[in-house]
Amino acid sequence: MLKIGGIFIPVTNLERSKKWYEENLGVIQVDAWQENGEDHGVDYIFPNDTTGLTLIKVEKPQPTEFTIKGKRKNAYYNFVVDNIHYVYEHLQNNQVETTRIHDYGLMKGFDFFDPDGNPFSVVSEEEHSPHINRGK
């Protein structure tokens, strides 16, 4: 019935962020708009996917994570990948800040951060994970 249509990311420098997201995430620009004569946002899609990602210019960094029990930070969403080591190496080679890869048994994951410090989580799951075929 419902599915995620897009993810909205607050960024303080739209031009810097456009370049970063295109180089590191491989997104494809589909639209851009201005407000009051200034660049305000840009819409992307992921190759081979319909989920959109929109960068929206803001004056100062905005929280894109929440805290669990006052200690650990958690991103609101994650990216699912087939080969987590390939993605990790790609980001490392591009000097993107990452955490180390954590092994959770049926799932592996790590976090990375955009130029505004927005956190993103990347996960890969084993074929027999209970989450791998959800919604199918």
Please report whether residue 111 resides in a domain: yes
CATH code of residue 97: 3.10.180.10
Q: What is the pLDDT of residue 136?
A: 47
Q: What is the pLDDT of residue 77?
A: 82
Please report whether residue 132 resides in a domain: no
Which position has the higher pLDDT, 29 or 39?
29
Q: What is the pLDDT of residue 38?
A: 75
Which position has the higher pLDDT, 42 or 105?
42
User: 51 and 90 share a domain?
Assistant: no
Which three-class secondary structure state does DSSP give residue 24? helix
Number of compact structural domains in the chain:
2
Boundaries of domain holding 14: 6-57
User: 42 and 93 share a domain?
Assistant: no
Q: Is the pLDDT of residue 62 over 60?
A: yes
Which DSSP string do the residues of 58-121 spell out, in sequence order? Answer: -SS----EEEETTTEEEES-EEE-S-HHHHHHHHHHTT--B-PPEE-SSEEEEEEE-TT--EEE
